[in-house]
Amino acid sequence: MATSAGFPMTETMPMNAAEAWSIFWAEQGHSSRCLALSPDICDRLDSFWQGFASRLSRQTRVIDLGCGSGAVGRALRSAAPGLQVTGVDVARIAPSSQPGLELIANVAMESLPFDDAAFGAAVSQFGFEYAAAPDAAAKEVARVVAPGGSLAFLVHHDAGPIIAAMRRHRRAIEGLCGAEMQAAFLAGDAGALSARLAVLKRECDNDSLVDAAGRGLQAQVANDGAGRARVWNAVVQALTPELAMLKSLDLSTSGGRTIEAVAEPLAGAFDVQPPKPLRTAEGAPIAWIVEGSRL
């Protein structure tokens, strides 16, 4: 471990995406919408799923991949209460107490614990693109969906506001945990710390985390060396899970390959329609819509 001014230099600890998402969901309420950033985006997402639900037969069994807190399942059942939705997530998620909505933790999309043709539809909202092995996940989805069954995935749009906001937030966390911030804080240099925070706020469009964490660091910078080291380690430890989650999101959209990485593996077993964007009221892209039917 490197040192500065005699104090430990702590980098963000390695953490896999499943563990990071587990911590994230443990801190969310049952009604969490995760990456839905505004009422308009929430309404657009719900409207899409309600429209999809209205096209399904009553009592259809639906699998929701990467379900998180179950937002998609709730939207589906609000439009069609007869649907039976089973959500799976690789993270440790809380079970559902709602009738007709089952949420199962610690399930990878590449290894689904269900019988062949067990479901009449498969859905995913900002979930399938996180699959560690898209080809294997697509084969599993095809296996558990009955012939003629419906498919509807909403996939991150690389040019949309959700991805832009998450990338700004990632830069904020990396800046807060970065070497310049660390050196200023551990040295007890309040002036250098304030200057670096001001730069970071401009670079990250006044991200609220920079304000909150910055105030905390400024309040503690006058501590003795050992106290500053403890505070710094606590800050890094608190931010590591969110940074790991944001890195996994960025990997899922890197290089503009997201929609191809989702649609192409599915095309062998599903009649997949050309992807089209779901947009905000102002026309900004929220997600790619990938729909089809099991061959």
Claim to verify: residue 74 and residue 204 sit in the same structural domain: no
Claim to verify: residue 50 and residue 127 sit in the same structural domain: yes
- Reply yes or no on whether the pLDDT at 203 is more than 50: yes
Predicted confidence (pLDDT) per residue in 236-291, tens digit: 888 888 888 788 777 666 445 568 878 999 999 999 999 999 999 999 999 999 99
Claim to verify: residue 83 and residue 183 sit in the same structural domain: no
Q: Stretch 123-140: mean pLDDT, rounded?
A: 91
Contact 117, 145 (CB under 8 A): yes
Q: Stretch 70-93: mean pLDDT, rounded?
A: 95
Give, for 35, the enclosing helix (H) or strand (E): none
**Lowest mean pLDDT: which of 171-180, 199-208, 235-244, 253-262?**
253-262
Claim to verify: residue 214 and residue 278 sit in the same structural domain: no
Does the predicted model carry a pTM greater than 0.75? yes
Question: Greater confidence, 112 or 10?
Answer: 112
Number of domains present in the structure of the chain:
2
Q: Which domain holds residue 196?
A: 3-10+161-251
Predicted confidence (pLDDT) per residue in 211-227, tens digit: 888 999 999 999 999 99
pLDDT of residue 1: 29
Give, to the nearest 10 degrees, the angle between helix 208-220 and helix 190-203.
180
According to DSSP, the β-strands at 285-294 and 270-272 are: antiparallel
